Amino acid sequence: MEAYYHSSRILVALDCIIFGFDGETLKLLLIKRNFEPEFGRWSLMGGFLNKNEDLHDAATRILFTLTGLHTNYLEQLQAFGAVNRDPVERTLSVVYYSLVNIDDQDPAALRAHNASWIDLANRPELIFDHDQMVEAALRQLRYKAALYPVGFELLPEKFTVPQLQKLYEAIYNVKLDRRNFSRRILSTELLLGTGEKDPSSVTKKGQLYRLNEQKYHDYLTGYQSFLPEFTELTLS
């Protein structure tokens, strides 16, 4: 079969927006570049697509190579293709975003790639169009977190309801009523009591839960919205 003919070369890059949660604030994993272009500035994790590689496989490879992180939640966001988005060469970027448990990170891999967890709200200005990518990913995260319980991907295996509330407050940048949130989240049947307690807590609010994996799967594959009342906050 005759090959397609095209006179110009366009590179395909993948940029990964990696969200984490430290128990208080939403975090973004960034690298401080020790290479050109834009030496010394902050950017997303990224790399180029190999010739015999699918997009999702490439995103998974980049995520693991640069961070040592495996994740169950890696979603393609959109493509960014402005003609002059990369000053070196015409490059199309396919953007993915990932939700990870910070406790699963490989500190050695992060150090090797000059990577740091930065507060999302206080992040530095990023190179190229990476700030636009982050804003698009945050909008998508807020949308998805209202429809599906994907926020649980950011939590450790065992967590308290107050920790879960802080997570959703961080995602939506709002303050939530404790009683209403607790009642609403327990009604989803997503939480299973462990019989254990957070040793740092002196109240019953310190009860530790884990995720009901079957119910989680039901929410991901069904038509029932997780927290539909949060949809109005997706544009905040």
**Model confidence pLDDT, tens digit, residues 174-184:** 999 999 999 99
Could you report the per-residue pLDDT of 7-34, keeping only the tens digit for each? 788 999 999 999 999 999 999 999 999 9
Give the domain range for residue 53.
11-146
Last residue of a domain, one of 105, 127, 146: 146
Q: Are residues 141 and 153 in the same domain?
A: no
Q: Is 156 left (phi over 0), alpha (psi -120 to 50) or beta?
A: beta
In this predicted structure, what is the pLDDT of residue 202? 64
Domain harbouring 112, CATH code: 3.90.79.10
Tell me the DSSP string of 96-161: EEEE--GGG--HHHHHHTTEEEEEGGGPPPBSTTHHHHHHHHHHHHHHHHHHS-GGGGGS-SSB-H
